[in-house]
């Protein structure tokens, strides 16, 4: 099934490849709000998705399984960990008992027949990738490419049980790294070198239409194309994409922040629907705009608003809860604990948040692209006054102690 805009080269690539194999292709109804209904009507076996879409489904699916409370949650976590251990040891993803008892409802979200999911366009959290592999008993394959390469670049093998990378270069494609001295990234490091990813091969475009200077700046004399992506070559030959160079910045602590990589991790928190992490070379700390998961957020916020002792708080609207400073401060602590759990560096902890009740995809600011990626420069302008206020709040209070 195809539901990614056809401006996304990878989806066109998959459609063309499947057409040559005489595979039936279903096109979604055109409204992303109804895409789950389309899945349940078409029962696809293969589809291409972007990480933010998979994150949304992950939040809903885990709320009733591995993140559920009570006996259901206990059983789901046991079943998930049991299947995950078998999968990582090479035993496959299918389990006759657990698939039928606990994970069948998750499989039905996508129609119940999915065998393979391809993910591209942005980084995918390891937790999300493993969850769908286990819950759907399917392959979830990450890849990397650009419009300038017609979507070609790297791809994971179906037998690969690891996460956190985009696979290996496709046949006929060469890749190397270029050092970035300003960021202390060395392409010649003997262990897991890092730098700007360069690509060469017959899949490259010939240039931008009527923009010869742009084309010249992108390609060197030896045919290598600069991608503007920071990557790491792993010891096993796989390639880990870290972030876009334009998304990286240095804080006043002289710490380089890869903002999208951080957002990928924080976005898997059950309370987070959207997140925009921001910082500046003149500021020591990071701040964030968070659009919460409404139902989970309201339930969680009750204990921070003293709703039992103060009945008037039960009348607060969702918007009022989002604007409550006690709730925002509690969310900062929640994200800090989540960062510790996920081994995020202390310099990358969130120091202050603003909770926006409007999801980014419904915002009047046009914050997301057609593939649901954050338009960072637009988000900075849209939230300019709020970001300035958050920085002022952080500057006017003592920096919170870093948990041990």
Residues 136-149: tens digit of each pLDDT? 999 999 999 999 99
Strands 248-250 and 256-258: antiparallel
Above 50 in pLDDT, residue 309?
no
Nearest to 32 by CA among 338, 257, 362: 362
CA distance 54 to 2: 14
Residue 251 phi/psi, 5-degree rounding, is: -85, 175
Query: Are residue 123 and residue 258 in the same domain, yes or no?
Result: no
User: Residue range 198-215: average pLDDT?
Assistant: 92
Lowest mean pLDDT among 272-286, 302-316, 381-395: 302-316
Query: Are residue 260 and residue 367 in the same domain, yes or no?
Result: yes
Q: State the pLDDT confidence band at 306, using cuts at 50, 70 and 90.
A: low
In 90-184, DSSP assigns E strands to 116-119, 139-145, 153-155, 168-169, 173-178
Query: Are residue 28 and residue 76 in the same domain, yes or no?
Result: yes
Per-residue pLDDT, 319: 93
Cβ contacts of residue 279 below 8 Å, gap of 6+? 249, 251, 257, 259, 285, 286, 287
Per-residue pLDDT, 371: 81
Side by side, the strands of the sheet bearing 286-292 are: 272-278, 286-292, 350-355
Query: Are residue 292 and residue 376 in the same domain, yes or no?
Result: yes
Contact 200, 219 (CB under 8 A): no
More confident call, 306 vs 147:
147
Query: Are residue 223 and residue 347 in the same domain, yes or no?
Result: no
Per-residue pLDDT, 307: 53
Per-residue pLDDT, 10: 85
Q: Which of the listed residues 128, 145, 162 is the one where a domain comes to its end?
A: 145
Above 70 in pLDDT, residue 311?
no
Per-residue pLDDT, 315: 67
User: Residue range 102-124: average pLDDT?
Assistant: 93
CATH code for the domain of 107: 3.40.50
Per-residue pLDDT, 404: 37
Q: State the pLDDT confidence band at 86, using cuts at 50, 70 and 90.
A: very high
In a domain, 160, yes or no: no
Question: Percent of the chain at pLDDT above 90?
Answer: 79
CA distance 284 to 303: 31
CATH code for the domain of 183: 2.30.38.10
Residue 280 phi/psi, 5-degree rounding, is: -155, 155
Q: State the pLDDT confidence band at 372, using cuts at 50, 70 and 90.
A: confident
Query: Are residue 320 and residue 386 in the same domain, yes or no?
Result: yes
In a domain, 155, yes or no: no
Query: Are residue 293 and residue 273 in the same domain, yes or no?
Result: yes
Per-residue pLDDT, 6: 82
Per-residue pLDDT, 403: 42
**Residue 403 Cα to chain centre, angstroms:** 26
Question: Percent of the chain at pLDDT above 70?
Answer: 95
Residues 246-300: tens digit of each pLDDT? 999 999 999 999 999 999 999 999 999 999 999 999 999 999 999 999 999 998 9
Per-residue pLDDT, 397: 66
Q: Which of the listed residues 244, 278, 305 is the one where a domain comes to its end?
A: 244
Above 90 in pLDDT, residue 374?
yes
Residues 169-203: tens digit of each pLDDT? 999 999 999 999 989 999 999 999 999 999 999 99
Residues 36-67: tens digit of each pLDDT? 999 999 999 999 999 999 999 999 999 999 99
More confident call, 8 vs 273:
273
Above 90 in pLDDT, residue 71?
yes
CB atoms within 10 A of CB 245: 16
Per-residue pLDDT, 7: 79
User: Residue range 329-354: average pLDDT?
Assistant: 95
Above 60 in pLDDT, residue 310?
no
Per-residue pLDDT, 104: 94
Q: Per the structure, how many domains does the chain have?
A: 3
In a domain, 100, yes or no: yes
CATH code for the domain of 335: 3.30.300.30
User: Residue range 61-86: average pLDDT?
Assistant: 94
**Residue 78 Cα to chain centre, angstroms:** 25
Above 50 in pLDDT, residue 328?
yes
Query: Are residue 262 and residue 334 in the same domain, yes or no?
Result: yes
- Residue 59's domain spans which residues? 9-145
Average pLDDT, the chain: 91
């Amino acid at each position: 099934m195809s539901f990614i805009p056809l401006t996304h080269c990878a989806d066109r690539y998959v459609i063309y490849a499947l057409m040559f194999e005489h595979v039936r292709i279903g096109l979604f109804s055109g409204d992303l709000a109804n895409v789950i209904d389309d899945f349940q009507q078409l029962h696809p076996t293969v589809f291409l998705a972007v990480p933010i879409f998979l994150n949304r489904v992950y939040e809903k699916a885990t709320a009733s399984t591995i993140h559920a409370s009570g006996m259901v949650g206990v059983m789901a976590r046991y079943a998930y960990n049991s299947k995950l251990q078998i999968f990582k040891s090479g035993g496959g993803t299918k389990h006759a008992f657990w698939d039928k008892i606990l994970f069948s409802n998750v499989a039905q979200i996508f129609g119940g027949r999915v065998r393979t999911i391809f993910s591209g366009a942005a980084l995918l959290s390891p937790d999300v990738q493993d969850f769908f592999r286990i819950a759907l008993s399917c392959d979830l394959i990450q890849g990397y490419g650009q419009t300038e390469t017609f979507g070609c670049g790297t791809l994971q093998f179906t037998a690969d049980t690891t996460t956190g990378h985009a696979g290996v270069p496709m046949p006929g494609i060469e890749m190397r790294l270029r050092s970035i001295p300003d960021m202390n990234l060395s392409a010649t490091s003997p262990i897991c070198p890092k730098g700007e990813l360069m690509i060469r091969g017959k899949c490259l475009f010939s240039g931008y239409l009527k923009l010869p200077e742009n084309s010249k700046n992108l390609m060197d004399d030896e045919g290598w194309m600069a991608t503007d992506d920071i990557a790491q070559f792993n010891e096993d030959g796989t390639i880990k994409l870290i972030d876009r160079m334009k998304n990286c910045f240095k804080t006043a602590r002289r710490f380089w922040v890869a903002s999208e990589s951080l957002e990928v991790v924080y976005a898997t928190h059950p309370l987070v629907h959207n997140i925009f992490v921001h910082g500046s070379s003149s500021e020591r700390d990071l701040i964030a705009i968070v659009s919460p998961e409404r139902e989970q957020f309201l339930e969680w916020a009750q204990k921070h608003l003293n709703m039992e002792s103060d009945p008037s708080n039960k009348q607060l609207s969702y918007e009022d809860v989002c604007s409550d400073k006690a709730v925002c401060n509690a969310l900062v602590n929640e994200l800090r604990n989540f960062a510790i759990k996920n081994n995020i560096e202390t310099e990358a902890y969130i120091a202050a948040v603003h909770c926006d009740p409007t999801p980014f995809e419904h915002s009047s600011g046009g914050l997301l692209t057609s593939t649901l990626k954050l338009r960072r420069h637009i988000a900075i302008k849209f939230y300019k006054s709020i970001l300035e206020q958050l920085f002022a709040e952080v500057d006017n209070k003592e920096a919170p102690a870093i948990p041990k």
